[in-house]
Amino acid sequence: MVPQHVPTVVVIGNGMVGYKFCEKLLAKTSVFKLVVFGEEPRVAYDRVHLSEYFGGKTADDLLMAPLQWYHDHGVVLHLGDPVLEIDRASQTVHSRSGLIQPYDYLVLATGSSAFVPDIPGVEKEGVMVYRTIEDLEEIKASAATARSGAVLGGGLLGLEAAKALLDLGVPETHVVEFAPRLMPRQIDAAGSQMLQTKLEALGLQIHLSKATSSIAGEGKIEALHFGDGSILEVDMLVISAGIRPRDELAKLAGLEVGMRGGIVVNNEMQTSDPRIFAIGECALHGGMIYGLVAPGYDMAEVVASQLTQGTRAFTGYDMSSKLKLIGVDVASFGDPFIAEPHSRSIVFEDAHNGVYKRINISPDGKLLLGGVLIGDAEAYNMLLQTVNNKIALPPHPEDLILGARGAEAAEGAGVLSLPDDALVCSCEAVTKGAICAAVTDLNVTSLDAMKKCNKAGTGCGGCIPMVKDLINGTLTAQGAYIKNVLCEHFDYSRQELFDLLRINDIRTYDAALNHFGKGDGCETCKPAIGSILSGLWNDLIVKHNTIQDTNDRYLANIQKGGSYSVVPRIAGGEVTPEQLMVIGRVAHKYGLYTKITGGQRIDMFGAHVSDLPDIWEELINAGFESGHAYGKSLRTVKSCVGSTWCRFGLHDSVSFAIEIENRYKGIRSPHKLKSGVSGCVRECAEAQAKDFGIIATEKGWNLFVCGNGGSKPQHAQLLATDIDKDTVVKYLDRFLMFYIKTADPLMRTATWLNKMEGGLAYLKNVVINDSLGICAELEAEMALLIQNYHCEWKEVVENPELRKQFTHFVNAPKVKDPTMEFEEMRGQKMVKAW
C-alpha cells in the first residue's frame, strides 16, 4: 500500500509572526505537517515587550509559547539551524546542519535585522544594536560601567532603547537624530516639540539634525563626530536607525525582491513563486514594509486562510499606534499629517502640562481623518474607531479632544455605540461584535475569561480598557445590575458584609461563606473577610491563618526568593543603644541583610521561614516585638525629635508618636495606615503625607487626615485645628473606625475620602459634630479593638502547634529550601535576581 502523502508546510523563521502563523494554521486545520526552522537558539519570543527584559522580566516570560507547545501540537522545530538554500525545482530547503526538507508550501517569516548605517568606526567595541535578547544582554553589560551613552535614531525603537539606558542607570543618556524632529514618521512637528520637552525634563539629552560622520576611539568608542564639526563624548552607542528586511535567502532563490529590500508579495502574500509565501517584516507589499506586529499577524492570518481554501487577502494596514514612551503617552492614528485643503485641523496645546492634541477632520466637518496625541492619549481608542468606522462627528468635534465643557457629558454611549464589525483588538483581530457576543452567548464576564475565550487583549494590551468597558456595558445593557461586590463568592460590598457579620455575630471565614457566600472562596474574599473579622473582633490573626495573604500568614514580609524580612517595632523611631545591639546580634546570628527603612525602622532581610520563630523569640526576650511592616494595619508613626532636643520644637512629638503607635498597633484596616507627628510647622516628620498626621502648634495640635505618598501622592487635609492631645485621640478613634467600617478592600484613606460624597465637610461633620450620631459607638468599637491587642509573634513562639507550621518542608522540618540562593553585595548578602 502506498502511504498517503501528508502535505508539508515549512516555515523559515521562528519569530512572533512565524509562531503566530503556526498557531493560526493549527486552529484551522490539522491536515498539514508543520516544520519550522529558526536561526536563533531560542523559541519565538515577544520582541514588542523586549524592554521589559530590563524591567525584571526573564527570557521565559517573553516566550510566545513554551517549547512544550510545539511538541504538543506536532510541530517539528529546528532551532539554531538556519536554512541556507531554497531549491525551488525540487521543492526542498537545505539547512546549515545538513537537513534536506521537502515542502509543499513554504512560508518565509525571516523578519528583519537592525539597519546599521555605514559610518566609519561602527565596528568599534561599545557600538551595539537593539534587536534580540542577546543584544539586550550586551547593552546591559556595557551600561553597568558606562558614564555616558547615546542612541542613534530618534524613532520609536530608538526612544525605547533610550528608555532602556535610563532604566539601566546610565548617568547621561543622549538621543541623536538625523531629522529635525523626533519620531518623524509618526507625529507632526508641534507634537515632536512637545514630546522633546517632556523627554528632556525626564533627563534625556536630545540632539536633532545631526549627521554622524564618524565614531572615534582607540578600539573602543569614545566619541561621536558630527557633520557640523561638533563632538559628543560617549562610552556606548546603541544604533536604532531602522530595520532591513531579511531577504537574502529569497534573493538567492531567485524570488523577486524590492529595490531597497523586501520580498515582493501580492494581496495573497504569495511571492513570485506561488508555492512560497512571505509574511511579516521581510515582506514588501504595495511598496511598504510593515514594521509592526499587528499587520504581521494579519499577514499570517491571510496565508493560513489561503492554505485552507479561504479568501482572506491583505490590503494594507492601518499603522495607527499608541505607546507609552518613558512615561509619556504618544499616539498617532489615521492620517496624522493630512492638511489644508484636504482637511482642517483642530489643535489643543497645553505647554504647562505637556499635552498636545491634533485632530484632522474632513473639510465638510463630517468625518475624522487622523491625528496626533502627546501627553494624554486616553481618547486614542475611541478616536481610532471613529476614523476606521467612518462614524459621523458630533456637531462640536473639538469635544473629542477637549471633553465636554458644558453641563452635558460628551461620552455619549461610548464604546457601545461602535458598529459590531469595529476592530477592538487589532493584534488578535477581535471585533466589538465578537466581544459582546462572548458576553451574551457564552457568559464571559471578566477580562481574564475574555482573554481565554478569544485572545482579545493578549497582544499589546492597548485595547484592555475598551474590552473592560464592553464587558460591563453589555452586562448593563442586558439588565445585569453592576453592583460593588467583593468577588464571585460574595454578592455584597465590604461595608455591607461588615454590618452583616457584626449583626449576626459571625467570627470565622467559613461561617461567613456559609451564611452569605457561595463556592469555596478565593484569594480576594479570604483576606477581605479576614480584615473585616479583625476590624470587628480583633481576634488573633494566627487563628485564621489560611485566609490571610502570605505575609499575615507568616507574620513577616515575603521577599524575592521566598525568604522573609523582619522589622522589629521601634515606636516613633526611638531606639536605645542596647536595643540596637540586640538587632545587630540577631541579624548577625541569622545571616540577615539589614537596611534602615523609610519609616524609621531597621529591616532584616533573608530569614528562612523556619528561623522566624527563633528570631522573634530572641527579640521578644530582649523586650522587642516584631512589627507590622506587612498586613493591612498601622505601619509606623514617624516623628521628628520635637521639643525635647530641638530648639524650634513646640511640643514633645516623640512621646506623642510612641503613644499613638502603641494605641493603634496590630489593628487591621482595609489598607495599610501610616502616620507621623511633627513638633512644629517645619514638619520634619512629613505628617501631611500620611493617612493621619499630627503637627504641633502654639496652642495645641493640628490633625490632618487622608494623605498619601506612593504612586499618587496627595496631601492630607486639615480636620481640626489647635486641639489638645485627648481630643486628637478621640477624633482619631472615630476617624479610623469609620474608615475601617466603610472603605472598600484595599482602598487607602485618600481614595476613600476622594470617593466620599460631601468630601471633607461631610467627614468633619461625622467625626467632629457627630452628624450621624455614631461617635459613641465608634469610640466603643475602637476601645474593644485596642483592648483585644495581642502580640501575634509571641503567640507563635509560645504555641508548639503553631510553631510547627513555620517550616519549608512539612516532612523534613530541619531542611531549608535548597533553591534559595544568595550572593554578596557591598559586604552583605543579597537575594539572586529573578
Partner 1 sequence: METTTAVAWLPVCHTTDIPADGGACALVEGEQVAIFNFARRGEWFATQNLCPHKQQMALARGMIGSTGETCEPKVACPFHKRTFSLRTGECLNGDECSIQTYPIKVEGDVVYIGLA
Shortest Å distance, C-beta 60 to partner 1: 8
| Site for partner 1 contains 834 (CB under 8 A) | yes
Single out the segment in contact with partner 1 by CB under 8 A; choices: 53-61, 432-440, 469-477, 616-624: 53-61
DSSP symbol at 699 = T
Shortest Å distance, C-beta 653 to partner 1: 37
| Site for partner 1 contains 561 (CB under 8 A) | yes
What are the cell numbers at 254? 531567485
Shortest Å distance, C-beta 24 to partner 1: 16
What would the DSSP string read from start to end of 769-791?
S-TTS-HHHHHHHHHHHHHT---
Alpha-carbon Rg for the chain in angstroms? 32
Single out the segment in contact with partner 1 by CB under 8 A; choices: 367-375, 558-566, 752-760, 786-794: 558-566
**Tally of CA atoms within 13 A in the half-sphere of 287 that contains its CB:** 0
**From 494, 526, 601, 628, residue interacting with partner 1 (rule: CB under 8 A):** 526
Residue 634 burial (CB count, 10 A) = 25
DSSP symbol at 601 = -
Looking at residues 458 to 477 of the shown chain, list those that interact with partner 1 (rule: CB under 8 A). 458
**From 19, 492, 554, 738, residue interacting with partner 1 (rule: CB under 8 A):** 554
**From 488, 491, 744, 779, residue interacting with partner 1 (rule: CB under 8 A):** 488
**From 145, 309, 353, 811, residue interacting with partner 1 (rule: CB under 8 A):** 811
Burial 525-541 (b: 16+ CB within 10 A, else e): bbbbbbbbbbbbbbebb
Looking at residues 339 to 368 of the shown chain, list those that interact with partner 1 (rule: CB under 8 A). none
Shortest Å distance, C-beta 572 to partner 1: 31
Shortest Å distance, C-beta 488 to partner 1: 7
Single out the segment in contact with partner 1 by CB under 8 A; choices: 320-328, 556-564, 615-623, 654-662: 556-564
Shortest Å distance, C-beta 452 to partner 1: 5
| Site for partner 1 contains 254 (CB under 8 A) | no
**From 89, 409, 503, 810, residue interacting with partner 1 (rule: CB under 8 A):** 810
Shortest Å distance, C-beta 138 to partner 1: 24
**From 339, 581, 815, 825, residue interacting with partner 1 (rule: CB under 8 A):** 815
- The residues with which 717 forms a beta bridge, in sequence order, are 705
Shortest Å distance, C-beta 819 to partner 1: 5
Between CA 529 and CA 516 the distance in angstroms is 11
**Tally of CA atoms within 13 A in the half-sphere of 276 that contains its CB:** 26
**From 55, 66, 598, 623, residue interacting with partner 1 (rule: CB under 8 A):** 66
Between CA 633 and CA 205 the distance in angstroms is 44
* Residue ranges of the binding site for [4Fe-4S] cluster: 640, 646, 680, 684
* Residue ranges of the binding site: 640, 646, 680, 684
Shortest Å distance, C-beta 809 to partner 1: 4
Query: Which of these, 683, 569, 718, lies nearest to 633 by C-alpha position?
Result: 569
Angle between helices 464-477 and 447-454 (to 10 degrees): 100
In terms of CB distance, is 464 or 786 closer to partner 1? Answer: 464
Residue 644 burial (CB count, 10 A) = 12
Shortest Å distance, C-beta 259 to partner 1: 40
Query: Which of these, 819, 379, 318, 391, lies nearest to 608 by C-alpha position?
Result: 819
In terms of CB distance, is 210 or 672 closer to partner 1? Answer: 672
H or E segment at 733? helix 725-742
Shortest Å distance, C-beta 833 to partner 1: 10
| Site for partner 1 contains 322 (CB under 8 A) | no
Give the 3-state secondary structure of residue 656: helix
Looking at residues 184 to 243 of the shown chain, list those that interact with partner 1 (rule: CB under 8 A). none
| Site for partner 1 contains 489 (CB under 8 A) | yes
* Strand segments (E) across 111-249: 112-114, 127-129, 148-152, 172-176, 204-207, 212-216, 223-226, 231-233, 236-239, 243-245
Looking at residues 417 to 456 of the shown chain, list those that interact with partner 1 (rule: CB under 8 A). 448, 451-452
**From 545, 579, 594, 788, residue interacting with partner 1 (rule: CB under 8 A):** 545
What are the cell numbers at 27? 486552529
Shortest Å distance, C-beta 808 to partner 1: 6
Alpha carbon 16 to chain centroid, angstroms = 21
In terms of CB distance, is 560 or 715 closer to partner 1? Answer: 560
Region label for 513, one of left (φ > 0), alpha (ψ between -120 and 50) or beta (otherwise) = alpha
In terms of CB distance, is 742 or 807 closer to partner 1? Answer: 807
* Residue ranges of the binding site for siroheme: 684
Which residue in this structure is represented by grid cell 522540618? 813
Single out the segment in contact with partner 1 by CB under 8 A; choices: 147-155, 581-589, 591-599, 817-825: 817-825
Single out the segment in contact with partner 1 by CB under 8 A; choices: 216-224, 303-311, 384-392, 809-817: 809-817
Q: List Cα–Cα distances, 277 to 91, 288, 447, in angstroms.
A: 13, 16, 35
Inter-residue contact 363 to 207 (CB < 8 Å): no
In terms of CB distance, is 365 or 519 closer to partner 1? Answer: 519
Query: Which of these, 265, 305, 267, lies nearest to 281 by C-alpha position?
Result: 265
Single out the segment in contact with partner 1 by CB under 8 A; choices: 158-166, 190-198, 227-235, 544-552: 544-552
CA dihedral 529, 531, 535, 540 (to 10 degrees): 100
| Site for partner 1 contains 65 (CB under 8 A) | yes
Number of residues this chain uses to bind partner 1 (CB under 8 A): 45
**From 81, 491, 539, 817, residue interacting with partner 1 (rule: CB under 8 A):** 817
Looking at residues 779 to 808 of the shown chain, list those that interact with partner 1 (rule: CB under 8 A). 805, 807-808
What would the DSSP string read from start to end of 737-768?
HHHHHHSPTT--HHHHHHHSTTHHHHHHHHHT
**From 61, 134, 411, 420, residue interacting with partner 1 (rule: CB under 8 A):** 61
Looking at residues 579 to 638 of the shown chain, list those that interact with partner 1 (rule: CB under 8 A). none
CA dihedral 494, 498, 500, 501 (to 10 degrees): 120
Between CA 282 and CA 106 the distance in angstroms is 14
Query: Given the rule CB under 8 A, which residues bind partner 1?
Result: 58, 60-61, 63, 65-66, 69, 448, 451-452, 458, 488-489, 510, 519-523, 525-527, 545-547, 549-550, 553-554, 558, 560-562, 805, 807-812, 815, 817, 819-820, 834
